[in-house]
């Protein structure tokens, strides 16, 4: 009799813990932050791939290509900085 009751109370505690654990998975970073981070990562990867292509072939219009690449890199760095500033303001409040 008492054994069953003790087992029942332990089951209730485990149920409470499981529900709490499920609630904890619902917290954390919002989806949009993860999307932005993923997009920035993808752009950085594309830039690196393009740099590799430029270095690999010794074309005639290398200077022009290189110039475009540098412009894109500068644009990317600016976007990254803006994103970092926004995150600092939200998460650290300064």
Partner 1 sequence: MLNEQLFELFKSLEDLTSLVYAVLFLIIFFVEKRMSSVTVALLVLCLSKGMASLLLPDLLELASQAGLQYKFAWYGSWMALNVVCIGLILKFHIANQIRASNVALAVSLAYVSFTAIQAIDFIDRATLNSGFFAMIYQISIPTINIGLIPLICYFWLRDYRKLTLLNKES
Alpha carbons 40 and 64: distance in angstroms, whole number: 25
Residues that bind partner 1 (CB under 8 A): 1-2, 5-6, 8-10, 12-13, 15-17, 19-20, 22-24, 26-28, 30, 86, 89-91, 93
Contacts of 65 (CB under 8 A, 6+ apart): 54, 59
CB contact at 8 A, 18 and 11: no
Give the nearest distance from C-beta 41 to partner 1 in angstroms: 22
Least Å distance, CB 34 to partner 1, is 12
Q: How far is the CB of 78 from partner 1 (least distance, A)?
A: 17
């Amino acid at each position: 009799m008492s054994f069953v009751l003790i087992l029942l109370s332990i089951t209730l505690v485990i149920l409470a813990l499981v529900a709490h654990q499920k609630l904890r998975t619902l917290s954390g970073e919002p989806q949009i932050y993860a999307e932005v981070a993923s997009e920035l990562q993808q752009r950085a990867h594309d830039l690196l791939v393009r740099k590799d292509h430029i270095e690999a072939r010794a074309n005639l219009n290398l200077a022009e290509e290189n110039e475009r690449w540098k412009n894109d890199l500068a644009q990317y760095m600016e976007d990254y900085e803006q994103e970092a500033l926004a995150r600092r303001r939200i998460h650290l409040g300064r």
